[in-house]
Amino acid sequence: MNALDTALQKSFPSVMVPRSEAVEPMTAYGERLLIAANGIWLEVLRPWIRVVRRVARYDAPTAIPYGDVAESTELLCGAIPAEHVSAFYQIARAALPNEAGAWIVWNRHTRQFRTVPLPSLSHGPGHLRYERPVLDEGESVVVDCHSHGSGAAFFSRTDNDDDRHDVKLALVLGHCERAPSVAFRLCVKGIFDEKQGGIPETWRVALDSEVTA
C-alpha cells in the first residue's frame, strides 16, 4: 500500500475484538477503532485517561463473529483536586465583566496538577481568544476551563467547534459574580459526554465555600 495510507492506518488502526478473550490493551498513546459484535467503538489512550465510546451501530442484523465492547472511562491521573477549580473561579471572578480561561494540567512524571491561566489576546464580554501556553514535557491538558462572565454557563456553538478535536474535560463557569452556574463535559474527538450529571461533589463544595468566603 502507498506510504500515506500506511502511515494513516498505523496511526489509527482498527482491531477485531475477540470473542473468547479480552482485546489486547493499547501499547502506545493514540486512538483506534474496535470492531465489535455490538458496534464500532473508539478507544483513546492518553497519559491521563483511557476512554472507550461507541461511535456506530450496524444498520442490518448481520451476525458479526466478534466479541462485545463496553463503554468505559478511566481517569489515569486520579481525581482532579478541587483547589484548581477554586483557583479558576477566582481568576474568572477577577476578570469580570470579561471572560477568562485556564487549563488544569497534569504531569505524568510528577503526577502533579497545576492551573495555567490563559493569557487572552482579545478580551471582552462574550469573547475570548487566547494564546496557547507552552506546557512542560510530560504535561497534558486535563480540564479546559473558561468563564462566561456574568452570563449563564453552557456550551455554545463556538465551544462545540473549539472542542471538536480535543480529548479533555471542559468546564464553563457562568454567573461568576455569585454562586456560579456550571457546565461540564468530557470531550473525546467529537464526542461530547455530559451525562455524568454535573461536576464532582468536591468541586461543588469548593466553589460554594469560595462564594461564602
Please report where in the chains the cell 483506534 appears, as a residue: 32
Rounded to 5 degrees, what angle do the CA atoms 36, 41, 46 make? 130
Distance CA 144, CA 163 (A): 9
Q: How many residues bind Zn ion (CB under 5 A)?
A: 2
Assess 43 for contact with Zn ion (CB under 5 A): no
In the list 156, 160, 196, 209, the residue contacting Zn ion (rule: CB under 5 A) is 156
Beta strands 181-188 and 120-124, pairing class = unpaired
Touching Zn ion, residues 93-132 (CB under 5 A): none
Q: How far is the CB of 159 from Zn ion (least distance, A)?
A: 4
CB closer to Zn ion out of 144 and 159: 159
Assess 159 for contact with Zn ion (CB under 5 A): yes
177 dihedral zone (left: phi>0; alpha: psi -120 to 50; beta): alpha
CB closer to Zn ion out of 53 and 185: 185
CB closer to Zn ion out of 111 and 127: 127
Which value, to the nearest 10 degrees, does the dihedral of the CA atoms of residues 192, 194, 200, 206 take? Answer: 90
Span interacting with Zn ion, options 27-35, 66-74, 152-160, 201-209, rule CB under 5 A: 152-160
Query: Which residues contact Zn ion by CB under 5 A?
Result: 156, 159
